[in-house]
Amino acid sequence: MVESVSAYNKLEDLLRDLVDECRQYTKLGHVATYIPILSKADPNKIGICIHTIDNKEIAVGDVDDEFSIQSISKTISLIITYTLIKDMNIIKNTFGVEASANKFNSLIQLETLSDIPTNPMINSGAIACAGLLVDKISFDEFIDFARKLCDSDKIRLSEETYMSEKTTGFRNYAIAYLLKSKNIIKTDVEKTLDFYFKMCSLLVTARSLSRYGSVLANGGTAPWSKTSLIDYKTARRTKTLMQTCGMYDASGYFALDVGMPTKSGVGGGLLSIADNKCGIGVFSPSLDEKGNSVAGCRMLEILSRTLKLHNFDKDYSIIDRLL
Amino acid sequence: MVESVSAYNKLEDLLRDLVDECRQYTKLGHVATYIPILSKADPNKIGICIHTIDNKEIAVGDVDDEFSIQSISKTISLIITYTLIKDMNIIKNTFGVEASANKFNSLIQLETLSDIPTNPMINSGAIACAGLLVDKISFDEFIDFARKLCDSDKIRLSEETYMSEKTTGFRNYAIAYLLKSKNIIKTDVEKTLDFYFKMCSLLVTARSLSRYGSVLANGGTAPWSKTSLIDYKTARRTKTLMQTCGMYDASGYFALDVGMPTKSGVGGGLLSIADNKCGIGVFSPSLDEKGNSVAGCRMLEILSRTLKLHNFDKDYSIIDRLL
Amino acid sequence: MVESVSAYNKLEDLLRDLVDECRQYTKLGHVATYIPILSKADPNKIGICIHTIDNKEIAVGDVDDEFSIQSISKTISLIITYTLIKDMNIIKNTFGVEASANKFNSLIQLETLSDIPTNPMINSGAIACAGLLVDKISFDEFIDFARKLCDSDKIRLSEETYMSEKTTGFRNYAIAYLLKSKNIIKTDVEKTLDFYFKMCSLLVTARSLSRYGSVLANGGTAPWSKTSLIDYKTARRTKTLMQTCGMYDASGYFALDVGMPTKSGVGGGLLSIADNKCGIGVFSPSLDEKGNSVAGCRMLEILSRTLKLHNFDKDYSIIDRLL
Amino acid sequence: MVESVSAYNKLEDLLRDLVDECRQYTKLGHVATYIPILSKADPNKIGICIHTIDNKEIAVGDVDDEFSIQSISKTISLIITYTLIKDMNIIKNTFGVEASANKFNSLIQLETLSDIPTNPMINSGAIACAGLLVDKISFDEFIDFARKLCDSDKIRLSEETYMSEKTTGFRNYAIAYLLKSKNIIKTDVEKTLDFYFKMCSLLVTARSLSRYGSVLANGGTAPWSKTSLIDYKTARRTKTLMQTCGMYDASGYFALDVGMPTKSGVGGGLLSIADNKCGIGVFSPSLDEKGNSVAGCRMLEILSRTLKLHNFDKDYSIIDRLL
CA–CA separation, D244 vs C100, rounded Å?
11
CA–CA separation, B4 vs B17, rounded Å?
11
CA–CA separation, A222 vs D152, rounded Å?
73
Predicted confidence (pLDDT) per residue in D233-270, tens digit: 999 999 999 999 999 889 999 999 999 999 999 999 99
**Does any CB of chain A come closer than 8 Å to the CB of residue B284?**
no
Predicted confidence (pLDDT) per residue in A203-249, tens digit: 999 999 999 999 999 999 999 999 999 999 999 999 999 999 999 88
Predicted confidence (pLDDT) per residue in A112-170, tens digit: 556 899 899 999 999 999 999 999 999 999 999 999 999 999 999 999 999 999 999 99
For the residues A34-43, what does the mean pLDDT come to?
88
In this predicted structure, what is the pLDDT of residue A230? 98
**Does any CB of chain A come closer than 8 Å to the CB of residue B275?**
yes
CA–CA separation, C243 vs A123, rounded Å?
42
Task: For residue A21, count CB atoms less than 10 angstroms from its CB and return exposed for 0-12, middle for 13-18, buried for 19 or more.
Answer: middle
For the residues C145-151, what does the mean pLDDT come to?
98
For the residues C172-178, what does the mean pLDDT come to?
94
In this predicted structure, what is the pLDDT of residue D19? 98
In chain B, whose CA is at the least distance from the CA of A242?
B256
Nearest CA distance, C142 vs chain B (angstrom):
27
In this predicted structure, what is the pLDDT of residue A267? 96
Partner residue facing D101 (CB), from C100, C241, C259: C100
Confidence of residue D100 (pLDDT cuts 50, 70, 90): confident
In this predicted structure, what is the pLDDT of residue B104? 60
CA–CA separation, A221 vs D103, rounded Å?
50
Residue B109 has pLDDT above 70, yes or no: no
Q: Say how many C-beta atoms besides its own lie within 10 A of residue A84's C-beta.
A: 11
Confidence of residue C33 (pLDDT cuts 50, 70, 90): confident
In this predicted structure, what is the pLDDT of residue C219? 97
In this predicted structure, what is the pLDDT of residue B103? 65
Strands annotated E in chain B = 47-52, 57-61, 67-68, 156-157, 202-204, 262-264, 269-274, 278-283, 309-310, 313-314
Predicted confidence (pLDDT) per residue in A172-209, tens digit: 999 999 999 999 999 999 999 999 999 999 999 999 99
Is A82 known to be catalytic? no
The C-alpha torsion from B177 through B178 and B181 to B186, rounded to 10°, is -60
**Percent with pLDDT over 90 in chain D:** 89
CA–CA separation, A189 vs A185, rounded Å?
7
In this predicted structure, what is the pLDDT of residue A216? 98
Residues of D in contact with A107 (CB under 8 A): 107, 111, 174, 178
Cβ contact, residue pair B112, A113, below 8 Å: no
Cβ contact, residue pair B252, A99, below 8 Å: yes
Q: Which amino acid is at D242?
A: M
Residue B112 has pLDDT above 60, yes or no: no
For the residues C187-216, what does the mean pLDDT come to?
98
Nearest CA distance, C2 vs chain D (angstrom):
20
For the residues B126-132, what does the mean pLDDT come to?
97
In this predicted structure, what is the pLDDT of residue C99? 87
Cβ contact, residue pair D108, A111, below 8 Å: yes
User: What is the DSSP code (8-state) at residue B19?
Assistant: H
Q: What are phi and psi of D75, to 5 degrees?
A: -70, -35
For the residues C17-30, what does the mean pLDDT come to?
96
**Does any CB of chain D come closer than 8 Å to the CB of residue A262?**
no
Which of B8, B25, B82, B196 is catalytic? The answer is: B196
Residue D272 has pLDDT above 80, yes or no: yes
Do residues D25 and D296 make contact, with C-beta atoms less than 8 angstroms apart?
no
Predicted confidence (pLDDT) per residue in D74-86, tens digit: 999 999 999 999 9
Residue C225 has pLDDT above 60, yes or no: yes
User: What is the DSSP code (8-state) at residue A115?
Assistant: S
Cβ contact, residue pair A99, B239, below 8 Å: no
Cβ contact, residue pair D177, A181, below 8 Å: no
What distances in angstroms separate CA D18 from CA C310, C322, D27, D310, D321, one per listed residue? 32, 44, 16, 17, 17
For the residues D271-281, what does the mean pLDDT come to?
98
For the residues C201-222, what does the mean pLDDT come to?
98
Which of A164, A204, A248, A314 is catalytic? The answer is: A248
For the residues B71-83, what does the mean pLDDT come to?
98
Q: What are phi and psi of D51, to 5 degrees?
A: -125, 120
Residues of A in contact with B253 (CB under 8 A): 97-98
Do residues D27 and D46 make contact, with C-beta atoms less than 8 angstroms apart?
no
In this predicted structure, what is the pLDDT of residue A8? 96
Predicted confidence (pLDDT) per residue in B181-232, tens digit: 999 999 999 999 999 999 999 999 999 999 999 999 999 999 999 999 999 9
CA–CA separation, A56 vs A59, rounded Å?
10
In chain C, whose CA is at the least distance from the CA of B177?
C174
Question: Which of A239, A304, A312, A313 should one mutate to test binding to chain B, selecting the residue with the greatest count of B CBs within 10 A?
Answer: A312
DSSP lists the bridge partners of residue A156 as A203
**Does any CB of chain D come closer than 8 Å to the CB of residue A177?**
yes
Residue A22 has pLDDT above 60, yes or no: yes
Chains in contact with chain D (at least 3 beta-carbon pairs closer than 8 A): A, C
Predicted confidence (pLDDT) per residue in A242-295, tens digit: 999 999 889 999 999 999 999 999 999 999 999 999 999 999 999 999 999 999
**Does any CB of chain C come closer than 8 Å to the CB of residue D103?**
no
For the residues B165-185, what does the mean pLDDT come to?
94
Predicted confidence (pLDDT) per residue in B233-252, tens digit: 999 999 999 999 999 889 99
In this predicted structure, what is the pLDDT of residue D107? 63
Helices (H), A67-169: 73-84, 88-92, 108-112, 123-133, 139-150, 159-168
Do residues D149 and D212 make contact, with C-beta atoms less than 8 angstroms apart?
yes
Confidence of residue B108 (pLDDT cuts 50, 70, 90): low
Say how many CB pairs under 8 Å bridge A and D: 56
Mean pLDDT, all residues of chain B:
94
> 3-class SS at A266?
coil
**Does any CB of chain C come closer than 8 Å to the CB of residue B181?**
yes
In this predicted structure, what is the pLDDT of residue C113? 53
